[in-house]
A and B are shown apart, each in its own frame.
Chain A
Amino acid sequence: MSQITSKPQDRRTDAELEALLGIARSYTIAGSGNATAIDKDRSPLDHDSTLLRRFADMRFKKVKRRREPGTGVTMINASGYEFEVFENDQPTADDSQPPEFATYLLWYLPKEVREAVTGDLEEEFSIVYNRFGQRKAIIWYYYQVGASFWPFVVSKVQKLVKWGVVGWISEALRRFIS
């Protein structure tokens, strides 16, 4: 099932209309879903004429496809128009899980914060995943994991330097006194 969610732009040619309708059709054929083009404001019965009228006002330039995780919906964006293609195949549970390797890296965080940080990142990963899709969520997750290490490394180095300086002063004093 497809639906138009954005506003029409310029007038389109018949060839463009055909191409655009072809996107929805080819998607139905290529995927395992049962996509049908409808307008969200119209009943499914008059969807073809509605779509054609709407498509007639479009300029067809480029097409982007984005799968919405956890919903079985694929967004098709063509020249500012967005189509939702509902599919039968639901994403697997692993799709919505953060990458295992990045989670494994978090094991090297200090143990006092490890569980809380890992849990927070995993919770937020699902929010980013549902909003922006799997690819962006994975990039976001790796970035967060990488960025999360620095403050702990800097904090550790600061402590080492501090105790190193204290040790050096105490050693100097001990020598001075003796």
Chain B
Amino acid sequence: MGEKKPYLGEFEELVLLAILRLRDNAYGMTIRQTVEEATGRSISIGAIYTTLERLEQKGFVSSRQGEPTPERGGRAKRYFKIEGTGMQALNEAQRVRELLRSGLQPAGGAI
């Protein structure tokens, strides 16, 4: 049996893509806003953080404490960045999607 490949859920993928897009400014609020704008869905900050915690446990992302700012009531930001395994997981998820899509006849328009 081959090596078990990391599995990425749909929401995890969205969060990872948002972190990738935000580069050095990826923290809870900006990630939430980016995912919300892209999907048009209302997303709670709790949903973002539970997903980030899970991704961190899987080793896909790492976090560091940022600087406390007055508009946050003196609380520090927690910045996230994608690790190598996270990039691999994203690429793998994209590869699987493309594999499953290839050769499909569009039913109600182009896929």
A117 contacts B45, CB within 8 Å? yes
A152 contacts B46, CB within 8 Å? yes
B10 CB to closest chain A CB, in angstroms? 15
Which B residues are in CB contact (< 8 Å) with A126? 71
A contact set with B: CB distance below 8 Å: 109, 112-113, 115-124, 126, 144, 147-152, 154-155
Which A residues are in CB contact (< 8 Å) with B77? 116, 119-120
Which A residues are in CB contact (< 8 Å) with B69? 119, 123
Which B residues are in CB contact (< 8 Å) with A118? 73, 75
Instruction: State whether A122 and B46 are in contact (beta carbons under 8 Å apart), knowing that A116-B78, A117-B28 are contacts in the complex.
Output: no
The segment out of B17-25, B47-55, B82-90, B93-101 that lies at the interface is B47-55
Which A residues are in CB contact (< 8 Å) with B78? 113, 115-116
A119 contacts B76, CB within 8 Å? yes
Which A residues are in CB contact (< 8 Å) with B60? none
B53 contacts A119, CB within 8 Å? no
User: How many residues of B are counted as interface, with CB atoms below 8 angstroms from the partner's CB atoms?
Assistant: 22
**B1-42 interface code vs A (CB 8 A; 1 in, 0 out):** 000000000000000000000000001110010000000000
Which B residues are in CB contact (< 8 Å) with A123? 29, 69, 71-72
Among B32, B44, B45, B75, contact of A115 (Cβ-Cβ < 8 Å)? B75
Among B50, B51, B68, B72, contact of A120 (Cβ-Cβ < 8 Å)? B72
A148 contacts B45, CB within 8 Å? yes
Complex alpha-carbon distance, A126 and B69, angstroms: 13
A148 contacts B46, CB within 8 Å? yes
A152 contacts B44, CB within 8 Å? no
Q: Which 4 A-B pairs have the closest CB atoms?
A: A148-B46, A119-B75, A147-B44, A119-B72
B49 contacts A113, CB within 8 Å? yes
Q: List 13 A-B contacts (CB under 8 A).
A: A113-B78, A116-B28, A116-B49, A116-B75, A117-B28, A119-B68, A119-B69, A122-B72, A122-B75, A123-B71, A144-B44, A148-B47, A151-B46
A36 CB to closest chain B CB, in angstroms? 33
Which B residues are in CB contact (< 8 Å) with A154? 50
B46 contacts A149, CB within 8 Å? yes
Which A residues are in CB contact (< 8 Å) with B28? 116-117, 120
Which B residues are in CB contact (< 8 Å) with A124? 29
The residue in chain B whose Cβ has the minimal distance to the Cβ of A148 is: B46
Complex alpha-carbon distance, A83 and B111, angstroms: 49
Apart from A120-B28, A123-B71, what 4 extra A-B contacts exist at CB < 8 Å?
A: A116-B78, A144-B44, A150-B44, A151-B49
